[in-house]
Amino acid sequence: MRLSEFDYDLPSELIAQSPSEPRDSSRLLVLHRTTGEIEHRGFRDVRQLLGEGDLLVFNDTKVIPARMQARKLPTGGRVELLLLAKRGEGTWEALVRGKHVVPGGRLALIPGGETQSRSPRAEEVEAEVVEDLGEGRRLLRFSASTTELLSDFGRVPLPPYIHEPLRNPERYQTVFARDPGSTAAPTAGLHFTVSLLNELQDQGVQFAFVTLHVGLDTFRPITEEEVERHPLHSEWVRVSAQVAESVRNAHRLGRKVVAVGTTSVRALETAAWMGEGLGGPRSISAWEGQTSLYITPGFSFRVVDALVTNFHLPRSTLLVMVSAFAGKEHIREAYRQARDLRYRFYSFGDAMMIL
């Protein structure tokens, strides 16, 4: 497939710069993937689209304050760091923006994290460049604990297309976030409020929580002209035995398994494919580890029956995934209507439900 098949034009004013208030007041485009029928609703209408016994699967990862500023030693040149994945206590894989950041070099971190308190040694923390991992990534070894590093130096890493400061960093967290490790939020989950979750539970909708720590590939565009040739970095995922059993129960009862966000899709389908042959085409087992599953059109979905998601960037792996789930032509028409009706796009934008 050609990359141009997953491109579209979007006026810049439709890129949401701030989240809806309240969270569940966003708009909802409903796409029926078997017929291509499209409905335009409000997000709270998910209550009408889900029935007793349906299973909503959320990603409970929590965004860490992973963006930091540093200066090179001894020259003082400025460098920006984005922590991507912890590789050991004090050691991180990071995306580095700056010139001549080479193995053996040293960086001095510049205080300015999200918290108001500062440790006595905040001015003294350094990072050693251990290895060049390619594509702007470096392996860094810090002279501070993870807790100190994040609290004293880190800021919430908003996507580059959001240009307005976020007054409340918690608005880039889901209300059910509990496992720190992501450098970007699982944004489909941002639409859910505690009250909406309670209402869904009262009507018999079931909940399950997986963990996938979102890394570099969420915001890295596809660069290969042949979509299938795009290299996808791995992300850490956990699907518990309890979640796997909840999925199997929903399937046995003929109820929908609804992934909230593309990260939940990737977690569930990874667990199903890693257990291939263990119980049939709809089987899923507990699984934990790194996933590099790349979902493109032609992929055979084993677990997910429906999807709640946001509107994704053109030429992105996420747009490719939703096209695999709903069909390229259906997604193209849905995005055309969303653009014409002035939906809000990307991380803080409106939502889509694919049934």
pTM comes to 0.92
How much of the chain exceeds pLDDT 70, in percent? 94
What's residue 278's pLDDT?
Answer: 53
- Indicate whether 118 and 131 sit together in one domain: yes
Do 248 and 177 have their domain in common? Answer: yes
> Domain check: are 262 and 336 in the same one?
yes
Query: How many other C-beta atoms lie within 10 A of the C-beta of residue 201?
Result: 12
Indicate the residue among 107, 122, 153 that finishes a domain.
153
In this predicted structure, what is the pLDDT of residue 217?
A: 67
Q: Does residue 306 share a domain with residue 203?
A: yes
**Residue 75: Cβ within 10 Å count:** 9
Residue 184 forms part of a structural domain = yes
183 within some domain: yes
Q: Report the percent of the chain where pLDDT is more than 90.
A: 81
283 DSSP assignment: -
Residue 264 in contact with residue 212, Cβ under 8 Å?
A: yes
Instruction: Using DSSP bridges, classify how beta strands 55-59 and 257-260 pair: parallel, antiparallel or unpaired.
Output: parallel
Give residue 275's pLDDT: 67
Distance CA(38)–CA(135), nearest Å, equals 39
| Structural domain for 258, as ranges | 3-63+167-354
Write out pLDDT tens, residues 11-49. Answer: 999 999 999 999 999 999 999 999 999 999 999 999 999
Which CATH number do you get for residue 349? 3.40.1780.10
Least confident of 218-222, 235-239, 254-258, 287-291: 218-222
- Residues 75 and 54 placed together within one structural domain of the fold: no
Domain count, the chain: 2
**Which CATH number belongs to the domain containing residue 120 in this structure?**
2.40.10.240
What Å distances lie between residue 98 and 76, 79, 154, 302, CA to CA? Answer: 11, 5, 17, 43
pLDDT in tens, 285-300: 999 999 999 999 999 9
